[in-house]
Amino acid sequence: MLFFRKIFISAMKFRYRTLVMFTLLFVVFNAWFMSVIEPETFENTFHAMWWLLTTMTTVGYGDVSPTSEFGRIWAMLVIYTVGIGLFGMIIGQIVESVSHYKRMKEEGKLNYRGENHYVVIGWTAKSKSTIRELFAGDNLSEVVLIDELEKTPLEHERFTYVNGSPTDFETLRKARIEKSRAVLLFAPDGVTNSDLADGKTLLVASTIESYDDETENNIYTIAEILNEKHVGNFKHVKIDEFILSQESVSNLMAKSAQTKGSSHLFTQLLSHQDGENGSDLWEVTTNPAWKTYGDAYEDLKSKGAQLIADRKDLNIIRKLNEPIPTDAVLFVICDKKTFQSI
CATH number, residue 191:
3.40.50.720
Q: Do 56 and 79 contact (CB within 8 A), yes or no?
A: yes
- DSSP readout, 20-84? HHHHHHHHHHHHHHHHHH-TTT-SSHHHHHHHHHHHHTT----S----SHHHHHHIIIIIIIIIH
Considering the domain architecture, whether residues 207 and 131 belong to the same structural domain is answered as yes
Q: Is the pLDDT assigned to residue 7 strictly greater than 60? A: no
Considering the domain architecture, whether residues 241 and 160 belong to the same structural domain is answered as yes
Considering the domain architecture, whether residues 142 and 89 belong to the same structural domain is answered as no
The domain containing residue 73 runs over which residues?
2-106
The sign of the dihedral angle between the CA atoms of 135, 140, 146, 152 is: positive
Considering the domain architecture, whether residues 229 and 161 belong to the same structural domain is answered as yes
Number of structural domains (the chain) is 3
Considering the domain architecture, whether residues 99 and 122 belong to the same structural domain is answered as no
Considering the domain architecture, whether residues 58 and 88 belong to the same structural domain is answered as yes
Considering the domain architecture, whether residues 37 and 92 belong to the same structural domain is answered as yes
Would you say residue 92 lies in a domain?
A: yes
- Mean pLDDT, to the nearest integer, of 265-282? 64
With cut-offs at 50, 70 and 90, classify the pLDDT of residue 3: very low
Burial class (CB in 10 A: 0-12, 13-18, 19+), 302: exposed
Q: Is the pLDDT assigned to residue 40 strictly greater than 90? A: no
Would you say residue 259 lies in a domain?
A: no
pTM of the shown model: 0.63
- What whole-number distance in Å separates Cα of residue 116 and Cα of residue 112? 12
Q: Name the domain boundary from 248, 263, 292.
A: 248
Residue 189: its pLDDT value, please? 85
203-254 pLDDT tens trace? 999 999 999 888 877 899 988 888 888 888 877 787 888 887 765 555 555 5
